[in-house]
Structure 1
Amino acid sequence: MTSFKLYFKFVKPYWKLVLITILIGMVKFAIPLTLPLIMKYIIDDLLLSTISIAEKTQKLIEVMIFAFVLFVIIRAPIEYLRQYFAQLTTSRILYDLRNQLYAHIQKLSLRYYQNHRTGEIISRMINDAEQTKSIVETGLMNVWLDLFTLTIAIAFMIHMDFGLTMVAIAVFPLYAFSVKTLYKKLRNLTKSRSQALAEMQGYLHEKVNGIPVIKSFTLEDYEKENFGFRNNKFLNRALALTKWNAITNSIINTITDTAPLLVLAYGGYQVIHGNLTIGAFVAFYAYLDRLYSPLRRLVNSSTELTQASASLDRVIELMNEPYDIVDSPQAKIVHKIKGKIDFQDVSFRYDNTSDWVLNKIQLTIQPGETIAFVGMSGGGKSSLISLLPRFYDIQQGNILLDDLNVKDMTIKSLRSHIGMVLQDNILFSGTVRENILLGNPNAVEEEMISAAKAANAHDFIVNLPKGYETEIGERGMKLSGGQKQRVAIARVFLKNPSILVLDEATSALDLESEHLIQESLSKLAKNRTTLIVAHRLSTITHADQIVVIENGEIKEIGTHDQLMKEAGAYFRLFNVQNLNSVEQLQSF
């Protein structure tokens, strides 16, 4: 399906509004076409006529009353309605388009977001989507109205003088040739400019989020230079587009200005030889503006539509991005699970060209068990737990939940049973209440407060300036690390999942915050299947099973006591951490 065909799916529900706008526009554009006729009547039938002054005055008053009614009383509401319906239609279409895009990007896998900058995605949804308005406003409305104006103007001109009309439109073929030749390059230049803008926005979005790092490393001058490079790239592409537009406009305007000179020459000749009245000549010349104004707008429409088409390509490219993770045709909605998990010979890599991140993982977890995954960074721990909610799909093996393959569950129902607490939990701008309610938007006040208390978050929340109504800023920047983590845990308490996943949930916190969070996590893990990725081994000695993963393979599995007795990889990791802790204490 072409970009335009896909786009017109959004236009189709509003075809009646488009039609109404065009009909109102025809009336709006028809009214000014009467002005040259009024001028001809006043000059030929009044000013140059032999009737009495009193009769001339009476007829002048009558025609001016008619003109004022037409141009002031009738045209004003017509102008308003035309503008209103045009903007209403394009705004509605843009609303639907952005809603569809937002729904689409939420279904894209994490792999897509790892390979694309956030700012570039936003640029396509905001800037490029906005540019597509011209396809409707210009392409479906203004173009037809300008063609209507051209047709009526030419009809009136032919009625007045056929030969003079042929002279007036003699330059039309030059317009067609210019549009075909000059606008061929414009689409690529526009697309190139949009891409440079998206890259700059992507860079800017990333650096604004990382401003604390820039300041801490005093990288302001360095980043200014880097941004200047991208800004200059955008400037060069924008100037290339501007240069081509300037060339186009100069050629088009030169062609346009040739027509009046030809009309003046031939029309003046006809008046001198008595073949054309002065009134008709003046009216005809007035129609030139009615002829070439819409023609010039049509040429400018080519520019707008070319630019809009380039932006539409980028929007549709995003909309056509395929989903990596989808429900299978036989996927079932699972309403309740016990929490048994089976990894059966699971092998996984992020793409077909990379090495295996996990290799033949074989592991069974019973309902209610707490399983800890430990090992050196990069061993595959976080990758393993990300496979359970199907953030990625495995290439080999099976993952079963209560003996049902996770691929045979709907994604929504699968993830509804899994609660995740990460090292860097994302909070959204808004209030504390809104962030906790993300766990269950339909929860009542008592449930929300109960979840906050269970997460050891209620006490600090009520001491905030506005309590639960306190705005926490983007990514929760107004809260400390421990406070953000407790709000995130409250969110999971409110969700009340059957399976809990903790990925380095306390590794970046101070001891006091860690104690409070460990306490709340213990409550949260009770009677749930719990998967823990841990850096501090002292926090997972209570686990039912500890799984040591190295280089994507399970090297050891057992309880803390069993693994310590084996004196293997876990034993070495645990002792190294304890030794480091002792040395740190002695240094004080």
Structure 2
Amino acid sequence: MVLNLAERPGRGAGRTVTPAEKAQARSVSLRRIGALFTGHRNQLTLVVTIIVASSVLGMASPFLLREVIDVALPQSDLRLLVYLVLGMVVVAAVTSVLGVIQTWISTGVGQRVMHRLRVDVFSHLQRQSVSFFTKTRTGEVQSRITNDIGGMQSVVTSTATSIAANLTTVVATIVAMVALTWQLTLISLLVLPPAIYLTRRVAKMRQQITAERQRELAELNVIIEEGLSINGVQLSKTMGAGAAQTERFTGSSNRLIDLELRSELSGRWRMAAMNIIFAVIPATIYLAAGLPFAAGAMSIGTLVAFTALQGNLFRPLMSLLDVSVTLTSSLALFARIFEYLDLPVDIASPVRPVRLPEVRGHLRFEDVTFAYDSSPAAALAGVTLDVPAGSSLALVGETGSGKSTIAALITRFYDPTAGRITIDGVDLRDLDLSDLSDIVGVVSQETYLLHTTIRENLRYAKPDATDAELVAAATAAQIHSLIAALPDGYDTMVGSRGHRFSGGEKQRIAIARTLLRDPRILVLDEATSALDNETERAVQRAFDELARGRTTVTIAHRLSTVRDADQIAVIDHGRILESGTHESLLLDGGRYSTLAG
């Protein structure tokens, strides 16, 4: 069996998965689940050995009990009675200690497997292109990592050991029962056919319900993320949508109640039926032992020992069947996780990346065409640009003309559909992604700050940066004096998404963070759009100073910020209409002169 990726998450604005039927149609290879435990074979072998030893040792108790009832008590043999009782205590003590050791080892293995799975999913998603995240709701991604992997915990941490323990116990118990009386053993095993039938029915129901529940949990996560984030709360308050959001959350929560009830009741009905069967079997055995034709055929001690063994059989047998239900229902969770792990990485580092011994920063676009997946029309068409090392390029044009798409291609958020982009003559696709992030620094119009201190936000760009380097970067971005005036200085918490600061302050912190990386190529995607005129002029002066020796690509609506660029390109509908200096473009009287007017 293999995972059928009928549809990848994030295709569209609604749910990120197809309807329930497709999710239920997925199947997961048990071999693939077993492969999660690769590297833990020695520990698992030890666990199985402990389980077998514990199960076999536990079978001694009924035989000791039989000797107590049939021999020691009738014959008033105190010495034998003491030995038998001590033997029963030792058996209980040893099996208990072995159980603790087995639980310690198996739980440790399970938790390490869970840790590895969480890390694998997180790191694989980190490698996904920006395109994936623009199509997938954040709450859905969070739900897969937390709810789905969390729901698999009991399967990963205890299922294998539970199967081994209960299977060993069942086999050992049946052998012991046959040794006591094979006739009564046959009567006891009459419980198997109805138990297996009921379990299979419950397992199928649970699998369907589990898939539905996880989708609903993902929906609940999305509602929480959208409704309780700072931006979501502000939108809700300004739109008066609080009641509607609460109603949406209430509906999702109510659906979860129904799913949980269905899941629990499906198991309870089976348990009720099995309890009745388990009560009938011992009663039948007692009746059979008392019938005239069976009178004297077995001792009371044998009957008591047999019924004790029978109880030991039913408990692990039910546990085995419960494991079957849990494993079957959890396949829906494994399907959702493996679906993410199987996502192809669209933007990846090459197997043999080209290393630039010395980065000059010569940037070129060579007949570049690009189209987004969601749009049949090209966002860029035949764009050719040449930005010599240390020079500056300004991109101007109306909203939606393709300026930010050019910036996204420089950072390799996307790859061109046709043509190529080079730095110092090397195609971006031939560079390691980590090297590219060191070469290209970006400050965009949409500033994102982490919910931590200013210091840690800056060090996100350079973890080993000294305090002096932080101050230098903040000073260049015209934000140091403001930070220094705060009671906690650089240890001030910025708040969720930086909402403690104004738009201009957040943008200057982001500028400082980028400058801390000291990139050879700067991409400023309307980086001063949130600044007032005075602050903008100050930051622009800092950029002018810092741009010396760097290649700078600036995107701006305000032509005042780009008039001194070495070259200016006017973009319209993904094409370059004209390019030149500020003065030459004004003299040409084309689109640029219209924008400048």
TM-score normalized with structure 2 length: 0.89
Change (3 A) 1:17 1:270: farther
- Secondary structure (helix, strand or coil) at the match of 2:449 reads coil
Which residue of structure 2 aligns with residue 20 of structure 1? 46
Deviations 1:321-354 (A, max 9, x none): 0011123455312243212222122111012752
Partner deviation per Cα, 1:504-537 (whole Å, 9 max, x = no partner)? 1121234454344334333332321111111222
Q: Quote the residue 1:188 is aligned against.
A: 208
Contact 2:62 2:308 (C-alpha < 8 Å) held by counterparts: yes
**Partner-residue secondary structure (3-state), 1:36:** helix
Equivalent residue for 1:90? 110
Q: Identity, % of aligned pairs?
A: 31
Q: 79-88 or 180-189: which moved more?
A: 180-189
Asked whether the 8 Å contact 2:163–2:323 carries over to 1, the reply is yes
**1:374-399, Cα deviation, whole Å (9 max, x unpaired):** 11111111011111121111111221
Indicate the residue corresponding to 1:529 in structure 2. Answer: 551
Distance apart, 1:83 and its partner CA: 1.8
- Stretch deviating more after TM superposition (172-181 or 550-559): 172-181
Alignment-derived partner of residue 201 in structure 1: 221
- Of the candidates 376, 391, 399, which is equivalent to residue 377 of structure 1? 399
Structure 1 position 102 matched with structure 2 position 122 = yes
CA distance in 1, matches of 2:495, 2:162: 44
Moved more, 148-157 or 325-334: 325-334
- Residue 45, structure 1, aligned to residue 71, structure 2: yes
User: SS of the counterpart of 2:549?
Assistant: coil
**Residue in structure 1 matching 2:430, options 408, 428, 433:** 408
Residues 355-434 of structure 1 mapped to structure 2, 5 A cutoff: 355-434=377-456
Matches for 1:490-505 after TM superposition, within 5 Å:
490-505=512-527
5+ unaligned residues in a row in structure 1: which ranges?
576-588
Using the alignment, how far apart are the partners of 2:270 and 2:396 within structure 1?
Answer: 65
Distance 1:449 1:302, change over 3 A: same
Worse-superposed segment, 542-551 or 1-10? 1-10
Q: Give the 3 Å change call, closer, same or farther, for CA 553–248 of structure 1 in structure 2.
A: farther
Q: Is the 8 A contact 2:199 2:322 kept in 1?
A: no
Tell whether the 8 Å contact from 1:379 to 1:549 is kept in structure 2 after alignment: yes
Could you tell me which amino acid in structure 2 is paired with residue 283 of structure 1?
A
Change (3 A) 1:75 1:328: closer
User: Is the partner of 2:186 in helix, strand or coil?
Assistant: helix
Residue 200 of structure 1 contacts residue 234 of structure 1 at CA under 8 Å; is this kept in 2? no
Q: Note closer, same or farther for the CA distance 1:268–1:548 as it changes in structure 2 (3 Å cut).
A: farther
| Change in 2 beyond 3 A, CA 1:439/1:136 | closer
Matches within 5 A, 1:57-68: 58-68=79-89
Residue 461 of structure 1 aligns with an amino acid whose one-letter code is I
Whether contact under 8 Å (1:110, 1:391) holds in the other structure is: yes
* Structure 1 residues 406 and 293: CA distance shift in structure 2, 3 A: same
Q: Secondary structure at the match of 1:554?
A: strand
Task: After TM superposition, list the pairs within 5 Å mapping 1:247-262 onto structure 2.
Answer: 247-262=269-284
Query: Greater shift after overlay, 264-273 or 6-15?
Result: 264-273
8 Å contact 1:132–1:308 — kept in the other structure? yes
Superposition pairs of residues 169-568 of structure 1, within 5 angstroms: 169-209=189-229, 210-269=232-291, 273-329=295-351, 331-351=353-373, 354-568=376-590
Is 2:32 the counterpart of 1:10? no
Equivalent pair of 1:168/1:262 in contact (CA under 8 Å): no
1:419–1:378 Cα change, 3 Å: same
Distance 2:409 2:120 in 1: 27
- Structure 2: give runs of 5+ residues left out of the alignment: 3-27
Cα offset for 1:296? 0.6
Q: In the alignment, is the contact (CA less than 8 A) between 1:452 and 1:458 conserved in 2?
A: yes
1:106-141 deviation per Cα after TM superposition (whole angstroms, max 9, x unaligned): 110011111111111121112222233344434321
- Deviation of residue 212 (structure 1)? 1.7
Aligned to 1:129: 149
Task: Report how far residue 487 of structure 1 moved.
Answer: 2.2
Q: Secondary structure at the match of 2:385?
A: strand
Give the direction of change, closer, same or farther, for the CA distance of 1:9–1:83 in structure 2 (3 Å limit): same
Residue in structure 2 matched with residue 583 of structure 1 by the alignment = none
Q: Give runs of ≥4 in structure 1 deviating > 6 Å.
A: none
For 2:538 and 2:104, locate their aligned partners in 1 and report how far apart those are by CA, in whole Å.
58
Match of 1:70 among 55, 70, 91: 91
User: Which digits, 9 at most, give the CA deviation of each residue in 1:365-421, with x for residues without a partner?
Assistant: 121222111111111110111111211111112212222222222222222200000
Q: Is the 8 A contact 1:193 1:241 kept in 2?
A: no
Matched position secondary structure for 1:170: helix
**C-alpha displacement of 1:502:** 0.7
8 Å contact from structure 2 (residues 196, 321) kept in 1: no
The answer to whether the 8 A contact 1:134-1:308 is kept is no
> Does the 8 Å CA contact 2:438/2:519 hold for their aligned counterparts?
yes
- Match of 2:159, as an amino acid? G
8 Å CA contact retained: 1:503, 1:533: yes
More divergent stretch after superposition (109-118 vs 133-142):
133-142
- Displacement of 1:92 in angstroms is 0.8
Separation (CA, whole Å) in 1 of partners of 2:165 and 2:517: 56
Q: Which amino acid aligns with 1:12?
A: T
Amino acid in structure 2 at the alignment position of 1:215: K
CA distance in 1, matches of 2:595, 2:364: 26
Return the offset for 1:88: 0.6
How far the C-alpha of 1:565 sits from its partner, in A, is 3.0
Distance 1:339 1:538 in 2: 25
Equivalent position SS for 1:555: strand
- What is the distance in 1 between the residues matched to 2:294 and 2:35? 58
CA distance in 2, matches of 1:430, 1:26: 51
Shift of 1:149: 0.4
Q: Which SS does the other structure have where 2:437 is aligned?
A: helix
Secondary structure of the equivalent of 1:361? strand
